[in-house]
Amino acid sequence: MRIHKKSTRILDKHDRHILRILQQEARISMRDLGERVGLSVSPCIERVKRMERDGVITGYYARIDPQALGMKLLMFVEISLQQKSALAVEHFRIEVLDIPQVQECHLVSGDFDFLVKARIHDMAEYRTLLEDLLLRLPGEAQSKSYIVIEEIKETFALSTDVL
């Protein structure tokens, strides 16, 4: 895992414009990116490299349609730990990192402890996943699952507007 230093530099309008474009078109050429943001190629490249170095840009990836891999079901699972200790939370965190179907896992405040997002092939895999999540926990746990009927909006893009 690459550790980035946190930038204290404020992102200006060119940086934000670059980020907005790269979130939608990560494979754009630096020449085209520079033209679109009103910079020559060298300053554009330098800004992108600085934002990568500072950890503002954390990576580039291919976004894959889950249906193409047969992952027909999207589900969210609320997990409530019976045992509320730092050790129990850390144990669950370590275990959930090893479950490939889990795309996201968040420790949250409220009526439950974790919110898990997973993509799976079918209901048989759902049962296995749920058993894996619960059996890996120390002590007892409760869960509440939600199967998504229709995805209305899903994006990883962040607003680059200044508030």
Pairing relation of β-strands 73-81 and 141-147? antiparallel
Residues 6+ apart with CB under 8 A from 18: 33, 37, 44, 47, 48, 51
Query: What pLDDT, on the 0 to 100 scale, is given for residue 135?
Result: 77
Residues 6+ apart with CB under 8 A from 52: none
Contact 145, 75 (CB under 8 A): yes
66 token code pair: 């889950």
The position carrying tokens 């894996």 is 132
77 residue type, one letter: V
Query: What pLDDT, on the 0 to 100 scale, is given for residue 138?
Result: 67
Q: Name the pLDDT band for 144 (thresholds 50, 70, 90).
A: very high
150 token code pair: 């229709």
131 pLDDT more than 90: no
Q: Where are the alpha helices (DSSP H) in the chain?
A: 13-24, 30-37, 41-53, 86-96, 123-135
pLDDT in tens, 61-116: 899 999 999 999 999 999 999 888 898 889 889 989 989 999 999 999 999 999 99
